[in-house]
Structure 1
Amino acid sequence: TLIGASLASLGLTAWIQGRDASGYFTKLAAMVAFACFVLNLYMLGQIFNVTPSDTVLLPWATFAFLLAYRYDLRLLLAAGICCVIAWVSARVGAFGGVYWLSAGEWPEHYFPVGALLLAVPMLISHRRFAGFEAIYRVFGLLCLLVPMLILGHWGRGSHLDIDPWLIEGGYQVAGFVVSALAIWMGARRSLNDMVNTGIVFFVLLLYTKFFDWWWAIMPKWLFFLVLALSAILVLVVLRRLRGRGVPA
């Protein structure tokens, strides 16, 4: 039944595309086809008692990418990228002797796929697909900056065999550097997705440092005053970036 549903929904997507000028119903049908495909493989594994494996993420990602590029679907592109992120991080963990379901417990496993995703829009042109390059860049930055934000306050989650305090300090500095580079590169190339992502993480890192430095020693009114002044400074920076032609 699920195999028939997958094939039927895929055929329905192709049929609707030629009759749907808006593309709305085509996208809905494509998402239904992807959901049926995911459930199909999952249920086959349950029926035949197949040992859970990260390998299933590859056909899911492949099907999502095929639908995304065939029907210009950014949501399915994001789904395919998520599958790739999960698979690469699981493989990186497996190479280090970590069970694939536990790969998410080690944030550093996401760095390779983050670099890979950032490289895709640089190497492959997506002029025919509006918004695809931005999705690759945002997910690439997330795979770099989220682990840095976590490791900046949880050094024991790193594979590095050094003092956790040094690990946390190093990743905090790395987070500031990477987010600042994202803002600079985005402003230089007029890529508002990079600018906004970089600003969000720069502010998060800055506010967490404010909390570490001053929450225990400052009067609370003064602490929030400093936060407000820093927020005003961020708004000034955003206005300057907007003046340079980078929408924020």
Structure 2
Amino acid sequence: MKKLDLSKQEKEIVDQALQHWCEQKLLEEDKVRELQENIDERSFEWKVLARYAFWVALASLIFSVVSLFADDMLVRFVEQFYETPNIVFCLFFAGLAVAFYILGFRNKKRYPDKTFSNETLMLSGAFSTAASIGFLGQILDRNTHYFTILFFISILIYAVLAVKLKSKLIWVFTLVALGVWFATETALHSEWGWKFWGMNFPLRFTIFGALLIAFSIWIQPRWSALLEFQSTSFVIGLLYTMIALWCLSIFGNYSDFEAWTQIRQYEILYWGLLAIAVSLALALYGLKKKDAVLRDIGFVFFLLNLYTRFVEYLWDNINRTIFFLVLAISFWLVGRWSEKIWKKQSTS
């Protein structure tokens, strides 16, 4: 009989579950032993090593490019290309991207089980695509619509790759590119000012994130090709919203830095209260529905917003010793509260 191959951590979880069911008289001891004997502990996490190895490879590639500009001899060599037209670099990276995509699709067809190596090739193609589009942007006038169309093209490329490869990582690139396109498109319509339809960037991205969440909940499930990316879209949309709302609670809907420095923070307190209310509601809803993602994001941003307000209103108004003492006590209380929840969950 073929045994179930589990990692050490997975085996410990299964053993705990079997022991719990045995104590609750849901399984006989003999049956528990029989099930435990059918489990093999994986000797080494080769899958994890492969993932980290490819990540390190990509990081090393980036560092190698950075090091290129730190080496005097190579700097002199690169300086020879300063007069090279941007169109040459654009075409070079476009060709490099095509080469990576061809290799990636060929590898996926021949070796579909080599997930990490296939995704690494595709990610390299994605980076090359971004570089090519970046140089093309240098050629075009940014005050024309062609400039924003470039970012829209990158969205289409990443989306097609994500669907073809069923890659959630590349789908994240798609949503990031979508955010960049949204920022440039609205900035273009506002003549590269900070406000668009009376909204600064934090307020715009708060709405943008909310729309992305709505898309993931009500529209995305209707497209079978995008269904598996629903949770990814929801989380990215939630992060867009919560980060933008946190920035909004600090800067308000101001687009002028000098105007913002002239106001007192209590004048935009309503944005802070909204950010706290939304994050707290998210954390409570996550606890109620036992959704770890909603709970964790809500709880993190609840604390972030709470301590942001704490710093805003008390930093200049109380003694530094008392400030950090209150801060230490508050974190200790949060730790105690978290510990109680953890103990309750572990004993229930």
Cα gap change, 1:207/1:5 in structure 2, threshold over 3 Å: closer, same or farther? Answer: same
Indicate how the Cα distance of structure 1 residues 156 and 15 shifts in structure 2: closer, same or farther if over 3 A, else same. Answer: closer
Q: How does 1:74-223 map to 2 (within 5 A)?
A: 74-95=168-189, 97-99=190-192, 106-123=201-218, 124-125=220-221, 132-155=229-252, 157=254, 165=264, 168-223=268-323
Check if 1:30 corresponds to 2:122: yes
1:70-118 per-residue CA deviation (whole Å, 9 max, x = no partner) reads 22333322221111112223334445x2427987963222122111221
- Note closer, same or farther for the CA distance 1:147–1:167 as it changes in structure 2 (3 Å cut): farther
Task: For residues 120-166 of structure 1, give each alpha carbon's deviation from its aligned partner in whole angstroms, at most 9, with x where no partner exists.
Answer: 3312249998984443233223322223322323236259xxx9556
Structure 1 SS opposite 2:250: coil
Return the alpha-carbon distance in structure 2 between the equivalents of residues 42 and 91 of structure 1.
16
Equivalenced residue count is 240
CA contact (8 A) 2:104 2:118 kept: yes
Any gaps of 5 or more consecutive residues in structure 2? 1-91, 257-261
State TM-score, norm by structure 1.
Answer: 0.78
Q: Residue 61 in 1 paired to residue 155 in 2? A: yes
Structure 1's 41 and 80: CA in aligned 2 closer, same or farther, altered over 3 A? Answer: same
Q: Unaligned 5+ residue runs, structure 1?
A: none
SS of residue paired to 2:179: helix
TM-score by length of 2: 0.58
Distance 1:113 1:151, change over 3 A: closer
Deviation at 1:240, TM superposition (A): 6.4
Structure 2 vs 1, CA of residues 151 and 210 (structure 1 numbering), >3 Å: closer, same or farther? same
In structure 2, the residue matched to 1:12 is 103
Match of 2:166 among 59, 72, 96: 72
Identical-residue share of aligned pairs (%): 19
SS in 2 for 1:157: coil
Residue deviations 1:158-194 (CA, integer Å, cap 9, x gap): 59xxx95565211101110111122123223333222
Secondary structure of the residue aligned to 1:25 is helix
Asked which structure has the greater CA Rg, the reply is: 2
Judge which range, 125-134 or 210-219, deviates more: 125-134
C-alpha change, 1:27 and 1:229, in structure 2 (3 Å) is same
Greater relative contact order (Cα 8 A, min sep 6): structure 1 or 2? 1
In 2 relative to 1, CA 164–144 (structure 1 residues): closer, same or farther, beyond 3 Å?
A: farther
**Residue of structure 1 aligned with 2:134, choices 27, 38, 42:** 42
2:101–2:122 Cα contact (<8 Å) kept: yes
Q: Distance in 1 between matches of 2:267 and 2:244?
A: 12
Deviation, 1:205, is: 1.4
Residue-by-residue CA offset, 1:14-40 (whole Å, 9 max, x unaligned): 111131524010110110121222233
Aligned to 2:38: none
Return the letter of the residue paired with 2:247: I
Distance in structure 2 (CA, Å) of the matches to 1:73 and 1:39: 21
Asked if structure 1 preserves the Cα contact closer than 8 Å seen for 2:249 and 2:269, the reply is: yes
CA contact (8 A) 1:107 1:158 kept: no
Relative distance call for 1:101 and 1:155 in structure 2 (3 A) is closer
Superposed CA RMSD: 3.5
